[in-house]
Amino acid sequence: MSEPTIAQKAPYAEDLEPGTYWWCACGKSKTQPFCDGSHKDTEFTPVKFEITETTRVWLCGCKHSGDKPFCDGKHKSL
């Protein structure tokens, strides 16, 4: 399996409204941390997640989190 592209070695702080979101898993999206379809022709698929109330979330930027799409601090050891 290929390794994802590290978009950045820090999380993305996002203030999100309730709704459905697609997190970029390949690291190639131009609309980080969200999917823009750049994963086509790769083995990666975006991660769908739901937000039920307006909240700030920390989304993984390194694409190596064990808690995708959320940051778990893995970027500190890359």
Domain edges within the chain: 12-77
Q: With bands split at pLDDT 50, 70 and 90, how would you rate the model's confidence at 66?
A: very high
Q: What is the pLDDT of residue 17?
A: 98
% of the chain at pLDDT higher than 90: 96
pTM of the model: 0.95
**Does the CA dihedral 72-66-53-21 come out positive or negative?**
positive
Q: How far apart are CA 67 and CA 76, in angstroms?
A: 15
Side chain identity at residue 1, one-letter code: M
% of the chain at pLDDT higher than 70: 99
Q: How far apart are CA 32 and CA 52, in angstroms?
A: 21
3-state secondary structure labels for all residues of 18-43: CEEEEECCCCCCCCCCECCCCCCCCC
